[in-house]
Structure 1
Amino acid sequence: MTDSVEDTTGPAAAPGGDGGPADGGGYPAARVRLLQDEQTTGPDRRAALARLTDEWLAGLLTRHATAAGLSGTALVAVGGYGRGELSPRSDLDLLLLHDGHADPRALAALADRLWYPVWDLGMALDHSVRTPAEARRAARDDLKVQLGLLDARHLAGDAELSARLRSAAYADWRESAPKRLPELHALCQERAERQGELQYLLEPDLKEARGGLRDATALRAVAASWLADAPRGGLEAARTLLLDTRDALHLTTGRATDRLSLQEQDQVAAALGVLDADALLRQTYEAARTVSYAADVTWREVGRVLRARAVKPVLRGLLTGRTAATGERSPLAEGVVELDGEAVLARTARPERDPVLVLRAAAAAAQAGLPLATAAIRRCATALAGRPLPEPWPAEALEQLVTLLGAGAPTVPVWEALEAEGVITRLLPDWERVRCRPQRNPVHTWTVDRHLVETAVRAAALTRRVHRPDLLLVAALLHDIGKGWPGDHSVAGETIARDMAARLGFDARDTAVIATLVRHHLLLVETATRRDLDDPETVGAVADAVGTTRTLELLHALTEADALATGPAAWSAWRGGLVADLVKRVAARLAGEPEAEPRGAEGPTAEQERLALEAGRTGGPVLALRTRAEPPAEDAPAADGPEPVGVELLIAVPDQPGVLPAAAGVLALHRLAVRAADLQLLDPIGDGPVLLLSWRVAAEYGSLPEADRLRADLVRALDGSLDVPARLAERERAYARRSRAVHAPPPRVTVAAGSSRTATVIEVRAHDAHGLLHRIGRALETARVAVRSAHISTLGADAVDAFYVTSTDGAPLTDAAAHEVAAAVEAALQ
Structure 2
Amino acid sequence: MTIETGPSSGPSDPSDPSAYAAARAALLDRPGLTGRPRRAALARLTDDWLAGLLAAAGVPSSGASSSGAPSSGVALVAVGGYGRGELSPRSDLDVLLLHDGPIAPELPERIWYPVWDAGAKLDHSVRTPAEARAVAAADLKAQLGLLDARHLAGDGALTAALRSAVLTDWRASAPARLPELRELGRERAERHGELSFLLEPDLKEARGGLRDLVALDAVAATWLADAPRDGLDAAALRLADVRDALHLATGRATERLSLQDQDQVAERLGVLDADTLLRQVYEAARTVAYAGDVTWRAVDRVLAARSGRGRRTGRPVFRFAGAGRGAGAVARGAVARRPLAEGVVEQDGEAVLAQGARPAADPVLPLRAAAAAAQNGLTVSYATVRRLAAECRPLPVPWPDEAREQLVTLLGAGEAAVPVWEALEAEGLITKLLPDWERVRCRPQRNAVHRWTVDRHLVETAVRAASMTRRVARPDLLLVAALLHDIGKGWPGDHSEAGEVIVRDLAVRMGFPAEDTETLAVLVRHHLTLVDTATRRDPDDPATVEAITKAVGTPSELELLHALTEADALATGPAAWSGWRASLVDGLVARAAAQLAGGGAAPEGAAPWARPSAEQERIAVEAARTGGPALSLLARAEGADPGSGPMGVELTLAVPDRPGLLGTVAGVLALHRLTVRSAGLRELDPVGSGPVLLLSWRVAAEFGELPEAARLRADLRRALDGSLDVSRRLAERDAAAPRRRGIPTPPPLVAVAPAVASATATVLEVRAHDAPGLLHRIGRALDGAGVRVRTAHVSTLGAEAVDSFYLTDPAGRPLTAGRAGEVAAAVRAALG
Relative to the length of structure 2, the TM-score reads 0.91
**Residues 1:606 and 1:365: Cα distance change in structure 2 (over 3 Å):** closer
Give the deviation of 1:688 after TM superposition: 3.3
Trace 1:622-661 onto structure 2 (pairs within 5 A).
622-629=630-637, 632=640, 644-661=646-663
**What amino acid is aligned across from residue 745 of structure 1 in structure 2?**
P
Give the deviation of 1:736 after TM superposition: 4.2
2:619 corresponds to 1:611: yes
Tell me how far apart the structure 1 counterparts of residues 609 and 156 of structure 2 sit (CA, whole Å).
Answer: 91
Question: Secondary structure of 1:529's match?
Answer: helix
Question: Secondary structure of 2:16's match?
Answer: helix
Contact 2:482–2:568 under 8 Å retained in 1: yes
User: What is the match of residue 8 of structure 2?
Assistant: none
2:210 corresponds to 1:213: yes
User: What is the match of residue 329 of structure 1?
Assistant: 337
Contact 2:199–2:444 under 8 Å retained in 1: yes
Contact 1:661–1:777 under 8 Å retained in 2: yes
Contact 1:632–1:643 under 8 Å retained in 2: no
Trace 1:431-580 onto structure 2 (pairs within 5 A).
431-580=437-586
Give the deviation of 1:759 after TM superposition: 0.7
Gaps of 5+ in 2: 1-12, 62-69, 316-330
User: What is the match of residue 620 of structure 1?
Assistant: 628
Tell me how far apart the structure 2 counterparts of residues 570 and 585 of structure 1 sit (CA, whole Å).
Answer: 23
Contact 2:412–2:466 under 8 Å retained in 1: yes
Give the deviation of 1:790 after TM superposition: 0.2
Tell me how far apart the structure 1 counterparts of residues 829 and 264 of structure 2 sit (CA, whole Å).
Answer: 30
Give the deviation of 1:630 after TM superposition: 5.0
User: What is the match of residue 150 of structure 1?
Assistant: 147
Contact 1:466–1:553 under 8 Å retained in 2: yes
State which drifts further: 324-333 or 801-810. Answer: 324-333
Contact 1:23–1:60 under 8 Å retained in 2: no
1:123-172 per-position Cα deviation (integer Å, ceiling 9, x unaligned): 21111111222211221111111111111111111111111111222222
**What amino acid is aligned across from residue 169 of structure 2 in structure 1?**
D
User: What is the match of residue 121 of structure 2?
Assistant: 124
Tell me how far apart the structure 2 counterparts of residues 228 and 286 of structure 1 sit (CA, whole Å).
Answer: 24
User: What is the match of residue 324 of structure 2?
Assistant: none
Contact 1:336–1:346 under 8 Å retained in 2: yes
User: What is the match of residue 247 of structure 2?
Assistant: 250
Give the deviation of 1:62 after TM superposition: 0.7
2:291 corresponds to 1:294: yes
**What amino acid is aligned across from residue 202 of structure 2 in structure 1?**
D
User: What is the match of residue 274 of structure 1?
Assistant: 271
**What amino acid is aligned across from residue 215 of structure 2 in structure 1?**
A
Tell me how far apart the structure 2 counterparts of residues 326 and 815 of structure 1 sit (CA, whole Å).
Answer: 81
**Residues 1:618 and 1:742: Cα distance change in structure 2 (over 3 Å):** farther
Contact 2:584–2:608 under 8 Å retained in 1: no
Contact 1:481–1:489 under 8 Å retained in 2: yes
**What amino acid is aligned across from residue 133 of structure 1 in structure 2?**
A
Contact 1:205–1:259 under 8 Å retained in 2: yes
1:561-593 per-position Cα deviation (integer Å, ceiling 9, x unaligned): 111111122222222221111111101111111
Question: Secondary structure of 2:396's match?
Answer: coil
**Residues 1:720 and 1:498: Cα distance change in structure 2 (over 3 Å):** same
Give the deviation of 1:504 after TM superposition: 0.9
Question: Secondary structure of 2:361's match?
Answer: coil
Trace 1:3-82 onto structure 2 (pairs within 5 A).
23-24=16-17, 26-66=19-59, 71-82=72-83
Tell me how far apart the structure 2 counterparts of residues 496 and 736 of structure 1 sit (CA, whole Å).
Answer: 50
Question: Secondary structure of 1:84's match?
Answer: coil
Equivalent in 359, 373, 377 of residue 365 of structure 1: 373
1:768-807 per-position Cα deviation (integer Å, ceiling 9, x unaligned): 1100100111121222221110011112211111100112
**Residues 1:192 and 1:308: Cα distance change in structure 2 (over 3 Å):** same
Contact 1:363–1:403 under 8 Å retained in 2: yes
Tell me how far apart the structure 1 counterparts of residues 221 and 686 of structure 2 sit (CA, whole Å).
Answer: 81
User: What is the match of residue 17 of structure 1?
Assistant: none
Equivalent in 137, 150, 157 of residue 160 of structure 1: 157
**What amino acid is aligned across from residue 595 of structure 1 in structure 2?**
A
Give the deviation of 1:622 after TM superposition: 2.6
**What amino acid is aligned across from residue 345 of structure 2 in structure 1?**
V
Equivalent in 228, 238, 244 of residue 235 of structure 2: 238
Tell me how far apart the structure 1 counterparts of residues 728 and 30 of structure 2 sit (CA, whole Å).
Answer: 53
User: What is the match of residue 260 of structure 1?
Assistant: 257
User: What is the match of residue 223 of structure 1?
Assistant: 220
**Residues 1:732 and 1:55: Cα distance change in structure 2 (over 3 Å):** same
Question: Secondary structure of 2:360's match?
Answer: coil
**Residues 1:160 and 1:630: Cα distance change in structure 2 (over 3 Å):** closer
Tell me how far apart the structure 2 counterparts of residues 604 and 199 of structure 1 sit (CA, whole Å).
Answer: 46
Tell me how far apart the structure 1 counterparts of residues 51 and 611 of structure 2 sit (CA, whole Å).
Answer: 87
User: What is the match of residue 353 of structure 2?
Assistant: 345
**Residues 1:696 and 1:740: Cα distance change in structure 2 (over 3 Å):** same
1:701-720 per-position Cα deviation (integer Å, ceiling 9, x unaligned): 36433444334433443455
**Residues 1:829 and 1:643: Cα distance change in structure 2 (over 3 Å):** closer
Give the deviation of 1:440 after TM superposition: 1.7
**What amino acid is aligned across from residue 216 of structure 1 in structure 2?**
L
Trace 1:643-682 onto structure 2 (pairs within 5 A).
644-682=646-684
Tell me how far apart the structure 2 counterparts of residues 823 and 136 of structure 1 sit (CA, whole Å).
Answer: 72
1:322-374 per-position Cα deviation (integer Å, ceiling 9, x unaligned): xx998101000000000111100011111011111111101110011101011
User: What is the match of residue 597 of structure 2?
Assistant: 591
Contact 2:761–2:814 under 8 Å retained in 1: yes
Give the deviation of 1:608 after TM superposition: 2.9
Tell me how far apart the structure 2 counterparts of residues 672 and 732 of structure 1 sit (CA, whole Å).
Answer: 15
**Residues 1:765 and 1:551: Cα distance change in structure 2 (over 3 Å):** same
Question: Secondary structure of 2:436's match?
Answer: helix
Contact 2:194–2:208 under 8 Å retained in 1: yes
Tell me how far apart the structure 2 counterparts of residues 198 and 702 of structure 1 sit (CA, whole Å).
Answer: 28
Contact 1:181–1:222 under 8 Å retained in 2: yes
Tell me how far apart the structure 2 counterparts of residues 712 and 367 of structure 1 sit (CA, whole Å).
Answer: 58
2:814 corresponds to 1:812: yes
2:768 corresponds to 1:771: no
Equivalent in 119, 134, 137 of residue 134 of structure 2: 137
Question: Secondary structure of 1:762's match?
Answer: strand
Tell me how far apart the structure 2 counterparts of residues 473 and 44 of structure 1 sit (CA, whole Å).
Answer: 48
User: What is the match of residue 379 of structure 1?
Assistant: 387
Contact 1:308–1:326 under 8 Å retained in 2: no
Contact 2:60–2:154 under 8 Å retained in 1: no
Give the deviation of 1:741 after TM superposition: 1.7
Contact 1:573–1:631 under 8 Å retained in 2: no
Tell me how far apart the structure 2 counterparts of residues 37 and 728 of structure 1 sit (CA, whole Å).
Answer: 54
**What amino acid is aligned across from residue 388 of structure 2 in structure 1?**
C
Contact 1:21–1:121 under 8 Å retained in 2: no
**What amino acid is aligned across from residue 729 of structure 1 in structure 2?**
A
1:292-328 per-position Cα deviation (integer Å, ceiling 9, x unaligned): 0000000011111112222679xx9xxxxxxx99810
Tell me how far apart the structure 2 counterparts of residues 730 and 484 of structure 1 sit (CA, whole Å).
Answer: 47
**Residues 1:481 and 1:179: Cα distance change in structure 2 (over 3 Å):** same
Contact 2:540–2:610 under 8 Å retained in 1: no
State which drifts further: 421-430 or 646-655. Answer: 646-655
Give the deviation of 1:619 after TM superposition: 3.5
Question: Secondary structure of 1:410's match?
Answer: helix
**What amino acid is aligned across from residue 681 of structure 2 in structure 1?**
L
What is the aligned length? 789
**What amino acid is aligned across from residue 387 of structure 2 in structure 1?**
R
**What amino acid is aligned across from residue 771 of structure 2 in structure 1?**
A
Contact 1:200–1:438 under 8 Å retained in 2: yes
Question: Secondary structure of 1:595's match?
Answer: coil
Give the deviation of 1:725 after TM superposition: 2.6
2:412 corresponds to 1:411: no
Give % identity.
71
Tell me how far apart the structure 2 counterparts of residues 367 and 262 of structure 1 sit (CA, whole Å).
Answer: 39
2:195 corresponds to 1:198: yes
